[in-house]
Amino acid sequence: MIVSDMNKTGVTFSLTQGNFFCYADSKQATMSKKLGAANSAVQKPVNNPHTPKYTDGGYGWVILASCFVITGLSTSFVKTFGIFFLDIQEYFDTLAFKVSWITAITVAVFHVCSPIASALSLLLSHRVIIIIGGILSSLGLLLGSFGFSLWAMYLTTGFLIGLGNGFVWVPSVSLVTQYFTERRPLANALASCGECVFTFIFTPFYQWLVDQMSWRQAMMIIAGIQLNLCVCGALMRPLQSQKKCQNNTSPSATTSGNDLCSTSAKQKKDLAHFFDLPLLKRPKFICMIFFGFFSVVGFLVPAIYLIPHAQNIGIDDFQAALLMSYWSAGDLIGRLGCGWLANLRLMKSVRLTTIMVTILSLALMLFPVAKSYPLLITFSCICGFFFGTMLALIVTLLTDVMGVDKLDNALGLIMFFRSIGCLIGPPLAGFLVDITGDYGIGFYVAGGGLFIAAAFLVLADYFLSHEQKYSQNTVKEMEKFISECQPPEGAEKGKLDTNRTE
């Protein structure tokens, strides 16, 4: 440490661990705070000696394959619920508004319980939580297949499946990120593709089950298929360093600030602070909350009303179900293609996402115009493509807007508010369908929600640009102040009292 004081000028210079600080009278506190933030922002990450050497390969591929299957199984039934929609509506002789609550509850519970699943994974283990989730998901389908009442389906097919999906999805994705470091973007992309591949395959299969038997017997068979989530969960082996963390009680195992053990301990200790409420004071984050709230309407409504809309205009049931397969094929291409495009960094992720969301909203609002089967296929592929591009950009968008250090907290809050949107979008579309008798009205609701979401992205871009401009001005101000604090080159040595401390 080197400290230099100049009493006549009121200037203090200090060099501590490679960080230069310059204080001057009343500006001391303000400038030190700004410089401290700047130094922490450019601090290089410390290599973690406790990170296992066998990541990015080996058993990590088994983890990735299991996550691929988990993602596919946990989302395929929700995305193909339109196959069962009209049958359930006819069975209970009820309104579309009431049937739509099943999927709304499923996805809302999934969003709410995701942070809970993350916490339980730390307290117990990823393997245990995934197996529990698989049992809950299978049980929800099995009990729902008995068709006791619509309210019973809200509790079983709605709540239990949503809870189970949250329990299997969050820990599996978390393990993939732990097993892969250098290949993490590729691993996450491959794991997310399970949703598209399984939906593409299972859509005609589920329709075939309904045609050959009934929707209730089909759900019983799907419940048995969902038990494969437990098999995948059994394959989810934690990293060796995590096992040592759980068994090691020595002080050295809990005092290292950069290893996996200390990270897990810190996460357990700070679970109560998962929701970073001060984020709600930042305008750009408020915009992201409204974006998540309105965009979830565009996510859910097409999956529910695509197949009923095609059936309502006279398309054969099996051909109508194939539309979701075409949608999923476009979704897969969009995810992979936009992931590559985003890596080129040709424009800000917030602006790229705004363009994709706007195009998707317009395509959805034009969807009801298509009356022939070839046009329905075309619009399904187009909408699926831009749907995939939007999903591929979500995490990158949040990271660029909120920063890496606030990503987890931002995701937790946004998922909470998205759950509210899940409970509003599908029932609203169902209410309008009951009034008009046209299932295509749901696409207007989805397109309108996404258009509003794009507007909030424009506002988020404005606040982000304003914040970046302010940061640049602050850096220039600090550089100018530091240059003014420099002592003159011809200063006498007697006026400078220098103390050297090791």
Query: Domain residues of the chain, as ranges?
Result: 1-39, 56-240+266-272, 275-486
Residuewise pLDDT in 10s, the chain (502 residues) = 334 444 433 443 333 333 333 434 444 444 444 444 444 443 443 444 444 455 666 788 888 899 999 999 988 888 899 899 999 999 999 998 899 999 999 999 998 887 788 788 878 888 899 999 999 999 999 999 998 889 999 999 999 999 999 899 888 888 887 787 777 667 777 888 888 899 999 999 999 999 998 999 999 999 999 999 999 999 888 776 455 554 544 443 333 334 444 444 444 444 445 556 677 777 888 888 899 889 888 888 888 899 999 998 889 889 999 999 999 999 888 888 776 776 666 777 788 888 989 999 999 999 999 889 999 999 999 999 998 888 877 777 777 777 766 666 677 778 888 888 888 888 999 999 999 988 889 999 999 999 999 999 889 888 877 776 656 556 656 666 676 676 555 554 455 455 544 4
DSSP state of 248: -
pLDDT given for residue 373 in this prediction: 92
Distance CA 495, CA 233 (A): 71
Token pair for 61: 């591929």
Amino acid, res. 167: F
466, β-bridge pairs: none
Q: Are 364 and 383 in contact (CB under 8 A)?
A: yes
Distance CA 286, CA 276 (A): 13
Unique residue bearing structure tokens 């660029």? 400
Domain 56-240+266-272: homologous superfamily in CATH: MFS general substrate transporter like domains (1.20.1250.20)
Distance CA 132, CA 478 (A): 54
CB neighbourhood size of 112 (10 A)? 18
Distance CA 349, CA 157 (A): 36
Q: Which of 194, 219, 203 is nearest to 327 (CA)?
A: 203
5, β-bridge pairs: 12, 497
Coil, strand or helix: which one is 498? strand
Coil, strand or helix: which one is 315? coil
Q: Dihedrals φ, ψ of 160, to 5°? A: -65, -40
410 by Cβ neighbours in 10 Å (0-12 / 13-18 / 19+) ranks as buried
Amino acid, res. 62: V
Task: Select from 3.40.120.10, 3.40.640.10, 3.30.450.40, 1.20.1250.20 the CATH code of 275-486.
Answer: 1.20.1250.20
What are the angstrom distances between the C-alpha of 234 and each of 130, 198, 231, 267, 424? 8, 20, 5, 24, 36
pLDDT given for residue 121 in this prediction: 80
Domains 56-240+266-272 and 275-486 share a fold: yes
23, β-bridge pairs: 12
148 by Cβ neighbours in 10 Å (0-12 / 13-18 / 19+) ranks as exposed
Token pair for 63: 């983890």
Q: Are 340 and 430 in contact (CB under 8 A)?
A: no
Distance CA 306, CA 86 (A): 12
Element (H, E) at 476: helix 441-485
DSSP state of 278: G
What are the angstrom distances between the C-alpha of 190 and each of 49, 85, 110, 248? 28, 30, 21, 34
21, β-bridge pairs: 14
Name the H helices within 344-440.
349-366, 373-402, 407-436
Give Cβ neighbours of residue 465 (< 8 Å, ≥ 6 apart).
none
pLDDT given for residue 401 in this prediction: 76
Q: Which of 4, 242, 274 is nearest to 115 (CA)?
A: 274
Q: What is the mean pLDDT of the chain?
A: 77
CB neighbourhood size of 266 (10 A)? 12
**In terms of pTM, does the model score above 0.75?**
no
Token pair for 354: 């705004």
Distance CA 383, CA 390 (A): 11
Q: Are 352 and 334 in contact (CB under 8 A)?
A: no
Distance CA 309, CA 320 (A): 9
Query: Quick one: angle between helices 260-269 and 96-123, nearest 10?
Result: 120
pLDDT given for residue 270 in this prediction: 47
Distance CA 237, CA 420 (A): 34
